[in-house]
C-alpha cells in the first residue's frame, strides 16, 4: 500500500473509531439520562458507593467525559457534594479502562464482520423505527458500537503495513519515556478522545510497531491528556465546576506520575501476574491490565488525601460566589444532558427567588429604591443568564417530562421576576407615616401578616396549610388597611395625595407577596413531581 493510501487508511480508521465512540456515548447518555441521574444521586452516600458508581456508569456509557458532566451537573444542582463528586470522578478513571479491555479482548480478536455488521444493522433499524427518544438513542449507541469495531479493524490493517515505512520512537530512558507520555497526551488533545489514543497504542503494540513499555507510556499520556477537556470546561465555569475539574486534573497527573515512576517494574510484575491468572500473553491484554492497575493505584493513593483535597478546593475559586449576579449553578457542561440542565436551572431559579423575597422584605421595612437597586441589578443579570442558558439547551434530546418541568420552571421564574418588580415599585413610593387611631393598627397588622407570610415562604419544608392561612391573613389585613386609608382620606385626616401613594405602595406589596406565594407553590409542586 502506498504511503498516501496508508495514511488515508489510518485517518479513516481513526475517524470511524471516533465517530463510533461519539455515537455510542451520545446514544447511551440520552437513553440512560434519567437512570444515570438516579444512580449517581442514590449511590454516592459513601466513598465506596461513589467510587463504584463512577466505575459502573463509565463502563456502561464508555465515556468518562459523560460521567464527569453528570457529576458536575449534580454538584451544580446541589444534589451531590464536592466530596462525593471527587470519588465519582476517581471511579470514572478506573471505569474508562474498560475501553482497553474491549479493544484487547474483542476488537483485536474477532473478525470485524462477526460483530460490527450486525450491530450497525440492528442499530440503524432501531434508529429509524424508534418511536421514542430512548429507543432511537439506543439504536444510535448500537450502530456506534459497530462503527467503533470497523475503526479498530482499519487501524489494525494500517499498522500492519507501517513497520516497513515508519519507525516510531522507542527507548526506555527517562527522556524517551517523557517524550512518549507527551505524545500520548498530544494525541488525546488532538483527537479529543483518550479512547482513540489508547486504541492506537494497543493496536500498534499488537502489530509489533511498539514495544510494551513505549506503548504503556503512550497510555499514561492519554490518561493525562483527558484533563485538557476538563481544563477547557473550567474556563468561565461555576466555582464548583472549577473545583471538580481541578480534582480531575490533580488525580490524573498524580496517577500518571506514579505510573511513570513504576513503569518498568509494574510491566514486569503484571506480566507475571497475567501468566498466573491465565491471561493471554498478547501485548494488548498486558497493556489493558497495566491501564487498569495504575488507575487503581491512583485511587489507593488518593484514599487518605481526599478529605484534605476537598477542604483545599473549597477554599479556592470563591470570587464568583461572592458576586450574586453571576450564576452559581448554571454551567455549560450540563447543557448536553437536559435532565441535569433542568436540575441546575431549578437551583438557580430558587436562588433568584430568595433574592426577590429579600427585596420584598426590604421594601416592607420602608427601604428606599436606592437600597434595592443593587438587588434589582442582580436579578436582572441572573435573568439574562437564565435566558441564555435555556436557549442553549439540547431541545432535540429533551424528553416530554423534562420539557414540562422546564416550562413550569420558567413560569416560576416569571413569578419571582414579578415579585422583584413589585417590590421595586413599592420601594419607589414613600412609606406611609400613620398618625393616630385606626390607621396605625391597620398598618401594623398588614406589616405583621406580611412578615409571617414571608417566614412561611422561607421555611423548609413548606407547610401548605400554614402557608394558605398566612396568605388569607395577609389578604384580610390588606383589605382592612385599604378601607381605613380610604375612610381617612374621605374624612380629610390623610391628604388625598398621600392616600393615593400609600394605596399604590401597599397594592404593590400585596401583589409582590401573592406572586411570591405562587412561585413557592409551583416550586413545591415541581419538587414533588420529580421525586
Give the CA-trace dihedral at 298, 299, 300, 304, to 10 degrees: 110
**Grid cell at residue 218:** 503512550
Distance CA 218, CA 200 (A): 9
Spell out the residues 6+ positions from residue 313 whose beta carbon is closer than 8 angstroms to its own: 82, 243, 246, 247
What is the structure's pLDDT at 166?
45
Q: Judge whether 336 and 393 are in contact, CB under 8 Å.
A: no
Distance CA 310, CA 312 (A): 5
Which is nearest to 364 in space by CA: 517, 474, 521, 479?
Answer: 474
Distance CA 178, CA 410 (A): 52
**Grid cell at residue 299:** 485511587
Classify 338 as helix, strand or coil: helix
Cell 510491566 belongs to residue: 267
**Grid cell at residue 487:** 375612610
Q: Judge whether 75 and 240 are in contact, CB under 8 Å.
A: yes
**Grid cell at residue 255:** 496517577
Angle between helices 212-225 and 283-302 (to 10 degrees): 50
Q: Is the dihedral of CA 19, 24, 25, 26 positive or negative?
A: positive
What is the structure's pLDDT at 514?
93
Does residue 455 have a cis peptide bond before it, meaning omega lies within 30 degrees of 0? Answer: no
**Grid cell at residue 38:** 438516579
Spell out the residues 6+ positions from residue 142 whose beta carbon is closer than 8 angstroms to its own: 27, 119, 120, 122, 123, 126
Question: For residue 145, what are the CA distances in angstroms to 28, 150, 159, 241?
Answer: 11, 9, 21, 30
Spell out the residues 6+ positions from residue 246 whose beta carbon is closer than 8 angstroms to its own: 234, 313, 316
Alpha helices, H only, 161-316 = 174-191, 194-206, 212-225, 227-234, 239-261, 263-277, 283-302, 306-314
Q: Judge whether 69 and 337 are in contact, CB under 8 Å.
A: yes
What is the structure's pLDDT at 316?
79
Alpha helices, H only, 47-81 = 47-61, 64-76
Classify 47 as helix, strand or coil: helix
CA angle at 456 for the pair 402 and 461, rounded to the nearest 5°: 50
The DSSP letter of residue 106 is I
Spell out the residues 6+ positions from residue 445 whose beta carbon is closer than 8 angstroms to its own: 477, 480, 481
Which is nearest to 21 in space by CA: 93, 102, 124, 115?
Answer: 102
Which is nearest to 90 in space by CA: 56, 53, 44, 51?
Answer: 51
End-to-end CA distance of the chain: 60
The DSSP letter of residue 430 is P
Note down pLDDT in tens along the chain; length 531 residues. 566 676 777 677 767 766 776 676 567 666 655 555 565 566 667 788 788 878 877 776 566 665 665 666 566 555 567 777 788 888 888 887 877 777 766 655 555 556 667 778 888 888 777 556 667 777 887 787 777 667 766 765 665 554 444 445 566 677 888 888 888 888 777 665 677 777 778 777 777 777 888 888 888 888 888 777 667 656 666 677 778 788 888 988 998 898 888 888 888 888 777 777 766 667 777 888 888 888 898 899 989 988 888 888 878 776 555 567 788 788 776 676 787 788 888 888 999 999 999 999 999 887 777 778 888 888 999 999 899 999 888 776 677 888 888 999 999 999 999 999 999 999 888 887 766 567 888 888 999 999 999 988 887 677 788 888 999 999 999 999 999 999 988 988 888 988 999 999 999 999 999 999 999 887 766 665 555
Q: Judge whether 268 and 216 are in contact, CB under 8 Å.
A: no
Cell 503494540 belongs to residue: 205
Distance CA 98, CA 91 (A): 12
Which is nearest to 72 in space by CA: 306, 318, 237?
Answer: 237
Q: Judge whether 339 and 37 are in contact, CB under 8 Å.
A: yes
Classify 115 as helix, strand or coil: helix
Distance CA 201, CA 229 (A): 20
Cell 476538563 belongs to residue: 230
Distance CA 49, CA 67 (A): 15
**Grid cell at residue 143:** 450502530
The DSSP letter of residue 321 is G
| Residues composing the chain | 531
Amino acid at each position: 500500500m502506498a504511503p498516501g493510501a496508508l495514511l488515508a487508511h489510518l485517518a479513516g480508521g481513526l475517524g470511524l473509531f471516533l465517530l463510533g465512540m461519539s455515537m455510542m456515548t451520545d446514544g447511551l447518555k440520552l437513553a440512560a439520562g434519567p437512570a444515570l441521574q438516579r444512580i449517581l444521586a442514590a449511590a454516592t452516600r459513601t466513598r465506596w458507593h461513589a467510587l463504584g458508581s463512577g466505575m459502573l456508569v463509565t463502563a456502561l456509557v464508555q465515556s468518562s467525559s459523560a460521567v464527569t458532566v453528570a457529576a458536575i451537573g449534580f454538584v451544580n444542582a446541589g444534589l451531590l457534594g464536592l466530596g462525593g463528586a471527587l470519588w465519582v470522578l476517581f471511579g470514572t478513571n478506573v471505569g474508562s479502562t474498560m475501553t482497553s479491555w474491549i479493544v484487547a479482548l474483542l476488537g483485536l480478536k474477532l473478525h470485524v464482520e462477526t460483530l460490527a455488521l450486525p450491530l450497525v444493522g440492528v442499530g440503524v433499524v432501531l434508529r429509524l423505527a424508534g418511536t421514542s427518544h430512548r429507543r432511537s438513542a439506543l439504536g444510535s449507541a448500537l450502530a456506534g458500537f459497530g462503527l467503533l469495531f470497523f475503526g479498530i479493524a482499519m487501524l489494525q490493517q494500517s499498522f500492519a503495513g507501517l513497520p516497513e515505512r515508519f519507525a516510531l520512537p522507542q527507548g526506555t530512558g527517562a527522556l524517551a519515556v517523557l517524550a512518549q507520555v507527551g505524545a500520548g497526551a498530544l494525541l488525546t488533545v488532538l483527537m479529543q478522545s483518550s479512547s482513540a489514543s489508547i486504541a492506537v497504542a494497543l493496536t500498534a503494540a499488537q502489530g509489533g510497531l511498539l514495544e510494551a513499555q513505549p506503548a504503556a507510556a503512550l497510555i499514561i499520556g492519554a490518561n493525562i491528556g483527558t484533563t485538557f477537556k476538563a481544563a477547557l470546561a473550567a474556563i468561565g465555569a461555576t466555582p464548583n465546576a472549577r473545583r471538580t475539574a481541578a480534582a480531575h486534573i490533580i488525580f490524573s497527573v498524580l496517577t500518571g506520575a506514579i505510573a511513570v515512576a513504576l513503569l518498568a517494574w509494574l510491566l514486569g510484575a503484571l506480566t507475571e501476574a497475567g501468566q498466573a491468572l491465565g491471561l493471554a500473553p498478547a501485548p494488548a491484554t498486558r497493556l489493558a491490565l497495566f491501564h487498569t492497575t495504575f488507575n487503581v493505584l491512583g485511587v489507593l493513593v488518593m484514599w487518605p488525601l481526599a478529605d484534605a483535597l476537598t477542604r483545599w478546593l473549597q477554599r479556592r475559586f470563591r470570587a464568583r460566589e461572592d458576586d450574586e449576579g453571576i450564576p452559581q449553578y448554571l454551567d455549560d457542561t450540563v447543557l448536553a444532558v437536559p435532565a441535569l440542565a433542568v436540575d441546575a436551572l431549578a437551583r438557580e431559579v430558587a436562588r433568584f427567588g430568595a433574592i426577590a423575597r429579600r427585596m420584598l422584605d426590604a421594601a416592607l421595612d420602608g427601604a428606599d429604591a436606592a437600597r434595592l437597586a443593587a438587588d434589582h441589578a442582580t436579578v436582572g443579570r441572573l435573568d439574562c443568564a437564565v435566558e441564555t442558558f435555556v436557549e442553549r439547551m439540547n431541545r432535540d434530546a429533551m424528553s416530554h417530562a423534562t420539557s414540562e418541568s422546564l416550562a413550569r420552571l420558567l413560569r416560576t421564574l416569571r413569578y419571582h421576576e414579578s415579585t422583584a418588580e413589585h417590590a421595586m415599585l413599592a420601594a419607589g413610593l414613600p412609606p406611609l407615616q400613620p398618625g393616630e387611631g385606626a390607621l396605625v393598627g391597620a398598618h401594623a397588622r398588614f406589616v405583621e401578616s406580611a412578615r409571617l407570610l414571608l417566614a412561611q415562604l422561607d421555611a423548609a419544608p413548606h407547610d401548605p396549610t400554614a402557608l394558605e392561612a398566612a396568605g388569607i391573613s395577609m389578604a384580610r389585613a390588606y383589605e382592612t388597611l385599604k378601607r381605613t386609608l380610604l375612610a381617612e382620606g374621605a374624612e380629610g385626616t390623610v391628604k388625598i395625595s398621600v392616600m393615593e401613594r400609600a394605596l399604590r405602595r401597599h397594592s404593590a406589596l400585596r401583589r409582590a407577596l401573592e406572586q411570591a406565594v405562587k412561585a413557592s407553590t409551583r416550586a413545591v409542586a415541581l419538587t414533588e413531581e420529580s421525586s
